[in-house]
Structure formats: structure tokens, C-alpha cells
Amino acid sequence: MVVIEFGYNTSSLVMSPKDALTMAEILQRAEKYEKKYRPGGAGVESSYTYHVWTNPDEINMKIISDDAYRMAKLAGKPEKE
């Protein structure tokens, strides 16, 4: 199995090597999108601006053993502290 990590401090996903390769190829072509709120004031209406740019985030992948995957699967979702 392969673990894919997106950017900094985000969730990780686990999938088959074939699916991980497909996902990486798609994400390589993806762009970042952000909608920013611009508050109004002094006679100016509030509005939004929209931005698209090249995705600077790194995509990291690591292979985990089938045994590690099965152990993690048995442990399930961790409890919040």
C-alpha cells in the first residue's frame, strides 16, 4: 500500500500503488484555487476575488507493508485527545 500526504499538516490517504500513481499524475496537473472576501466600507460594497495559480504544495508518498496496513486498519480512527 502507498500513503499519500498532501502539503503541510494535512490528512494522509492510503491506497494501492496503482491508484496512488493515478492520483499523483492527476494532482501534478491540478491548480490551487482560493476565494477571498474583501470587506466593504466607506461607500464600497464588500465583494469576493477569485484566484487560481500553480500548485506549490508537495505531494509525498511512502510505501507501507501489508502488515503495517492491516495493523492500522484494525486500530481504526484515532480518538481525539
Residues 23-75: tens digit of each pLDDT: 888 888 888 899 999 988 888 899 999 999 987 777 888 999 999 999 999 99
What is the reported pTM?
0.65
Are residues 39 and 60 in contact, defined by beta-carbon separation less than 8 angstroms?
no
For residues 22 and 18, give the distance between their C-alpha atoms in angstroms, rounded to a whole number.
Answer: 6
Residue 74 phi/psi, 5-degree rounding, is -65, -35
Residue of 64, 67, 79 lying closest to 13 (CA atoms): 64
Counting Cβ atoms within 10 Å, is residue 55 exposed (0-12), middle (13-18) or buried (19+)? middle
